[in-house]
Chains A and B, each alone.
Chain A
Amino acid sequence: MIKLENVTKKFPGMKIPAVKDLNLEVKEGDVCVLVGPSGCGKTTTMKMINRIHEPTSGTIYIQGENALKMNPIKLRLDIGYVIQEIGLFPHMTIEENVATVPNEKKWPKDKTTKKVEDVLTLVGLDPKIYSNRYPVELSGGQRQRVGVARAMVSDPPIMLMDEPFGAVDPITRARLQNEFLRIQERMGKTIVFVTHDIDEAIKMGDTIAVMREGQLIQHATPGDLLSSPADEFVASLVGRNRSIKRLHLIRIREILDEVGRAKPATEDMSIDDIKQRIEESNIRSIMVVDRNNKLTGVIGINDLKKKTGKVATDYMEDIAESVTSDATLNDALSVMLECGEGYVAIVNEDDQYEGTITLGDLLNVVKEDS
């Protein structure tokens, strides 16, 4: 889909090339993550694909065609582009910003409006609230989402994303990453994704291209990169805690069926039944759901001693944070550490209960691996 052949880029006035003799192939529908230390040439590599920079030598093929011979404007209209600095247009509303490519392609107005609404909703920004705001009225993370929405509004088969989640806090970042992966699963776009966060690379990439000083050191799947790093540099980049890093690679739903947790209690369940269920399944806490299977709280064994009452709701505590089953095991671990609990509740998008993962489950996974 995207193929770089012996690509070199030397900026005028620079002694050493920013990118040197790079060979890289990204298959259709794959997310290829470029990772490496600051200044190693990730952004430069990406910008040569949509010809913001012209390679000094080498060839770039896109869908089998020589990109360097194509009309750059046509080429770019079909490549979604999220730049590192976001680059929203300050004088346009969010809606107008996102409609940039449709307007360039002269789509009919109603089609544009509808697509802009869809894509804003997709990245988690309510069009009713945000459409008519200006970029200055948004937080950094919201702006980044607009940047992503703007790049994907015309459904380009290829997307180039330069640190698209750089400006957000870890929790929001994890949520955006999961949303992104969920969308990508459906859309199956070919994506070049730049980051200097190896954890993000392992989580997001179908393949990871590790770069250093303008050269490609290793291009492999996250699993292969973790199990057999090509050299010292890659090994130090992926770090010592490789078995823990594997938690990035496994989604909760992949282990949820195996763990076989106790059924949740219902809100009106009597306290004796609850005690019995806790004892039988040898657990320290039990989740509580309402009639629609929506998660409403949790009862720990300590709550049973401390409080009095007849039914589940009398003993129930609130749950601070839960995760969806397409989050990674590492996300689950983060939430456990964040909340200081040994478990985390798994819910679907509608907040309906799907299961529970404990610290023990994660330890088992890490143990199996190493």
Chain B
Amino acid sequence: MLRTLFKWVVVPLLIVALGAVIVVYSVNNPTDSLVARSLTYSNVFKALNEHLMLMFVSMGGAIVVGISIGIMLSRPKLYYLGRGVENIVNVGQTIPSLAILALFFTILGLGFRVAVFALFLYSILPILRNTFAGITSVDDSIIESAKGMGMSPFRILKKIELPIAYPIIIAGIRTAVVINVGAAVLATFIGGGGFGDLIVTGLSVRRDMVIFTGASIAALTAILFDYIIGQVENKLVKW
């Protein structure tokens, strides 16, 4: 009981508190007026808000679309297509996130929506790949015994394939989140906002404190999400 409380409440709160301490400290102790102007509560919260929106919208879309396509490709009829897609995805993953953003900038222009869309596409990749890999890794004999006992393909998917693949799918989501938080920092370059704004401001006015605040909150956000998903992952694997 205490352990659960610790795992699910205390640790996340500690991470949030650490972020709050950093923000409160740097806003209240500016080294000079330039820092004071860049680091106001409203600036920080605007950045946080934009950053979370970037993440939630792009991740939410990526999870829904990635898992759906992954499931579709794992059906026997599309299996070979799935193998091909898997290879393309692996190649896609090696493209640096900044290059992806730049690419979308040249095609779609500036703005929050373009940034969300680019992040969305980028985050789909690990989720799709892991969903496909997780489902197709289920042993044939397991599927066959389920089929032989009279389970329909849909029931097999729901009761057997997805539950067995969950840990791998979650691991994919975890990878996507970490990539996503990192890439979201770059959104600033195409006018997407987020913590990137703070960091870029800090760079242009040459004030380490601003850079540090932006970077450390971005990092803590990544750590927090990674931690929470890790907990979910542990909870799902019982066997």
**Per-residue CB proximity of A57-96 to B under 8 Å, as 1/0?**
0000000000000000111110101011111111100000
Could you tell me the distance in whole angstroms from the C-beta of B132 to the nearest C-beta in chain A?
Answer: 19
Residue on B nearest A71 in the bound complex, by CB? B150
With A87-B139, A136-B239, A150-B149 as contacts: A52 and B144 at CB distance below 8 Å? yes
- Judge whether B150 and A101 touch: CB under 8 Å: yes
CA separation between A357 and B106, bound complex, in Å?
Answer: 92
**Per-residue CB proximity of B148-162 to A under 8 Å, as 1/0?**
111110010000100
With A87-B142, A87-B144, A91-B164 as contacts: A76 and B238 at CB distance below 8 Å? no
With A87-B145, A89-B142, A90-B142 as contacts: A134 and B150 at CB distance below 8 Å? no
**Contacting residues, chain A, for B139 (C-beta < 8 A):** 85, 87
With A86-B141, A90-B142, A104-B155 as contacts: A81 and B148 at CB distance below 8 Å? yes
With A83-B145, A136-B239 as contacts: A90 and B150 at CB distance below 8 Å? no
Q: Does any Cβ of B come within 8 Å of A100's Cβ?
A: yes
CA separation between A81 and B148, bound complex, in Å?
Answer: 6
CA separation between A269 and B152, bound complex, in Å?
Answer: 66
- Judge whether B163 and A77 touch: CB under 8 Å: no
Q: Does any Cβ of A come within 8 Å of B146's Cβ?
A: yes
Residue on A nearest B237 in the bound complex, by CB? A91
- Judge whether B239 and A91 touch: CB under 8 Å: yes
Contact residues on B (Cβ < 8 Å of other chain), bracket: 10 to 19
With A89-B160, A91-B239 as contacts: A100 and B141 at CB distance below 8 Å? no
Binding site secondary structure of chain B: helix
Interface residues of B in 189-239 (CB under 8 A from A): 238-239
Q: Does any Cβ of B come within 8 Å of A8's Cβ?
A: no
With A90-B164, A90-B239 as contacts: A76 and B150 at CB distance below 8 Å? yes
CA separation between A84 and B145, bound complex, in Å?
Answer: 10
CA separation between A181 and B146, bound complex, in Å?
Answer: 26
- Judge whether A52 and B141 touch: CB under 8 Å: no
**Contacting residues, chain A, for B163 (C-beta < 8 A):** 91
**Contacting residues, chain A, for B142 (C-beta < 8 A):** 87-90
Q: Does any Cβ of B come within 8 Å of A50's Cβ?
A: yes
- Judge whether B148 and A76 touch: CB under 8 Å: yes
- Judge whether A81 and B151 touch: CB under 8 Å: no
Q: Does any Cβ of A come within 8 Å of B147's Cβ?
A: yes
**Contacting residues, chain B, for A84 (C-beta < 8 A):** 141
CA separation between A151 and B150, bound complex, in Å?
Answer: 11
**Contacting residues, chain A, for B145 (C-beta < 8 A):** 81, 83, 85-88, 147
- Judge whether B148 and A100 touch: CB under 8 Å: no
Q: Which of B142, B148, B155, B163 has the most chain A CB within a 10 Å cutoff?
A: B148
**Contacting residues, chain A, for B150 (C-beta < 8 A):** 73-77, 101, 104
- Judge whether A100 and B164 touch: CB under 8 Å: no
- Judge whether B149 and A89 touch: CB under 8 Å: no
- Judge whether A89 and B148 touch: CB under 8 Å: no
Could you tell me the distance in whole angstroms from the C-beta of A231 to the nearest C-beta in chain B?
Answer: 33
Q: Which of A50, A73, A86, A88 has the most chain B CB within a 10 Å cutoff?
A: A73
Could you tell me the distance in whole angstroms from the C-beta of B124 to the nearest C-beta in chain A?
Answer: 26
**Contacting residues, chain A, for B147 (C-beta < 8 A):** 52, 76
- Judge whether A73 and B152 touch: CB under 8 Å: yes
CA separation between A347 and B151, bound complex, in Å?
Answer: 43
**Contacting residues, chain A, for B148 (C-beta < 8 A):** 47, 50, 52, 76, 79, 81, 83, 160
CA separation between A89 and B160, bound complex, in Å?
Answer: 7
Interface residues of A in 128-148 (CB under 8 A from B): 134-136, 147
CA separation between A88 and B145, bound complex, in Å?
Answer: 8
CA separation between A88 and B144, bound complex, in Å?
Answer: 10
- Judge whether B151 and A91 touch: CB under 8 Å: no
- Judge whether B238 and A91 touch: CB under 8 Å: yes
With A86-B141, A91-B164, A104-B155 as contacts: A81 and B149 at CB distance below 8 Å? yes
Residue on B nearest A160 in the bound complex, by CB? B148
CA separation between A169 and B77, bound complex, in Å?
Answer: 41
- Judge whether B141 and A134 touch: CB under 8 Å: no
Residue on A nearest B151 in the bound complex, by CB? A104
**Contacting residues, chain B, for A135 (C-beta < 8 A):** 239
Interface residues of A in 23-74 (CB under 8 A from B): 47, 50, 52, 73-74
**Contacting residues, chain A, for B141 (C-beta < 8 A):** 83-87
**Contacting residues, chain A, for B164 (C-beta < 8 A):** 89-91
CA separation between A81 and B164, bound complex, in Å?
Answer: 22
**Contacting residues, chain B, for A52 (C-beta < 8 A):** 144, 147-148
Could you tell me the distance in whole angstroms from the C-beta of A130 to the nearest C-beta in chain B?
Answer: 14
**Contacting residues, chain B, for A91 (C-beta < 8 A):** 160, 163-164, 238-239
With beta carbons under 8 angstroms apart, the residue of A47, A85, A89 that contacts B146 is: A89
CA separation between A262 and B166, bound complex, in Å?
Answer: 65
Could you tell me the distance in whole angstroms from the C-beta of A153 to the nearest C-beta in chain B?
Answer: 10
**Per-residue CB proximity of A201-217 to B under 8 Å, as 1/0?**
00000000000000000
**Contacting residues, chain B, for A89 (C-beta < 8 A):** 142, 146, 160, 164
CA separation between A134 and B239, bound complex, in Å?
Answer: 6
CA separation between A73 and B146, bound complex, in Å?
Answer: 11
Nearest 8 pairs of A and B residues by beta carbon: A87-B145, A85-B141, A77-B150, A76-B150, A81-B148, A134-B239, A87-B141, A91-B163
Could you list 9 examples of A-B contacts with CB < 8 Å? Answer: A74-B150, A76-B147, A83-B144, A86-B145, A89-B164, A100-B146, A104-B149, A104-B150, A135-B239
Apart from the given pairs A76-B147, A79-B148, A100-B151, 9 other A-B contacts in the complex at a CB distance below 8 Å: A74-B150, A75-B150, A76-B149, A83-B145, A87-B146, A100-B146, A101-B149, A101-B150, A104-B155
